[in-house]
Amino acid sequence: MEPHIIATTPFDGQRPGTSGLRKKVKIFQQPGYLENFVQAIFDTQPELKGGILVVGGDGRYFNREAIQTILRMAAANGVSRILVGRGGIFSTPAVSCVIRKYKTQGGIVLSASHNPGGPDEDFGIKFNAANGGPAPESVTDAIHARTRTIDRYLTLDVPAIDLDEIGSFQLGDAQIEVMDPVADYADLMESLFDFNAIHQLFNSGLFRMRFDAMHAVTGPYAIEILENRLGAEPETVMNGEPKEDFGGGHPDPNLVHAAELVELTTGPEGLDFGAASDGDGDRNMILGKDVFVTPSDSLAILAANAHLTPGYRSGIRGIARSMPTSQAANRVADLMGIECFETPTGWKFFGNLLDDGRITLCGEESFGTGSDHLREKDGLWAVLFWLNLLAVRQQSVAEILQDHWRRFGRNFYTRHDYEGVDLAAAEALMDHLRLLLPGLPGKEIGGMRVSYADDFAYTDPIDGSVSEHQGIRIGFENGARIVYRLSGTGTSGATLRVYLESFEADPARHDQDTQEAMQPLILIAREFAQIEARTGRQEPDVVT
């Protein structure tokens, strides 16, 4: 079957961000828009011709239509075998799992992660490399460069494939395999964690939990693993049916958007454990009774306790954290005598460290945690890790937190997001801060002396690549830190993120409310950056 060659012209703005190309659905629905980006992948990744490709997404609006387009184009471009999840579903961690298990040449993930879904909301696409992780900058730069010169794309004129029936289908010269999207991932989880111990925890009658799938992709995975394999009571998984618009909600597992779950873990009758994941299944939120575990603390606690789980019983080789993530993981690494790397935001920066065996665990403050089992952050993996610790240690979430702080000290941590800020105003704010950086070391701000101030740059220790302008850091002699960064995950305006951290060694002060403990630093950060004057915002939109 001969491919159809369709003439096209470039679209502006197809540069992938930290997690691929994200735009409003209506932009992706423009004739040729999705096709141009997909063809740019095939044109720059020659190993896909004659190779195996994984395709799937989080089930959001436009997911099915986009997959049919990609299947036709993949076949037209000479891909020999395409693995697609039933119903077009694959969580982002599951895509990484399948790429690695079946040794494919890559995968195309359709998701805008934690962003809302629906006809007027967001859609996204990214390419994952043969190691299972997000494509490195060298690849995304090549894809972007091709989108600027593209003049044609290849496709087939064939009927749509039935995505709801597991089986093999022929599409031109390509074999399409519609597969169970859950099984391989669930088997991997069972090899890493003590399912018997977790099963006993569920059967003890002394433990109650809920997992909020937020009407997103993790629902089928959580139902299969938590309820079917581990024996959690029916309806342990809330909002477990994936919906194109995520049930009208915002599939971001934080204290604001998962308010129902937070309420269930609060008060005298609160649940013992609560957890949630996001739109594509790579983020997690961990709650105990009347307690929220920050992602920074979660990474540090998992690292300190990894030896209690089967998959990490022999210990960990190293840890990596994104630059805005708190330094709690550094304290664990120092005590264990292992390396701790500080990278830019974006999971792709962990890939080289994982592939080279320099690290075992990694995480970001934006509710992402993972390990060398995959090359993506993994929401349900983190939940199972916590369940394994709870089963083995026979302590509550709060007790595990308190024990950890007594041993390592507490890094108070919070993030303030100013969403939908005028882009020019946000960039001007950052430019102004950059001008101030050289004169800050040694100066006092709000009664605290600055020890360093920079615009974070990262040199990859494996391949030597350099990533600059990754966020502004201001560190103080007392261990406190302020970070300013513009996020690359939104689709309109700019999101200014302000990260604040202070260290407390005294256990008698570990129970302070985070926002109260951080209030002096919060005021310093707002006033120093002139946030209200430059953006018009008196308060952040989201506080985590």
Do 489 and 16 meet the contact criterion of CB atoms below 8 Å apart?
Answer: no
* The predicted structure's pLDDT at residue 242: 96
Q: For residue range 176-216, what is the model confidence (pLDDT) as tens digits?
A: 999 999 999 999 999 999 999 999 999 999 999 999 999 99
Give CA separation, 79 vs 124, 301, 453, in Å. 22, 43, 49
Alpha-helical (H) ranges within 19-136 are 25-28, 33-44, 63-76, 92-101
* The predicted structure's pLDDT at residue 51: 98
The Cα–Cα gap between 181 and 232 comes to: 21
Do 360 and 309 meet the contact criterion of CB atoms below 8 Å apart?
Answer: no
Q: Which long-range contacts (CB under 8 A, 24 or more apart) does 183-186 make?
A: 184/94, 184/97, 184/98, 184/101, 185/91, 185/93, 185/94, 185/97, 185/98, 185/221, 186/221, 186/224, 186/225, 186/229
Catalytic residue ranges: 113
* The predicted structure's pLDDT at residue 492: 62
Do 106 and 130 meet the contact criterion of CB atoms below 8 Å apart?
Answer: yes
Specify the residue for token string 């496709």: 155
Burial of 271 (0-12, 13-18, 19+ CB in 10 A): middle
Q: Which residues of the chain have a pLDDT value below 70?
A: 488-492
Specify the residue for token string 């995959």: 374
* The predicted structure's pLDDT at residue 5: 98
Partnered with residue 179 across adjacent β-strands are: 85
- The 3-class SS string of 358-410 reads CCCEEEECCCEEEECCCCCCCHHHHHHHHHHHHHHHCCCHHHHHHHHHHHHCE
Q: Cα 191–164–284 angle (5° rounding)?
A: 40
| Sign of the CA dihedral running 169, 174, 175, 176 | negative
* The predicted structure's pLDDT at residue 346: 85
Tokens of 211: 């997992």
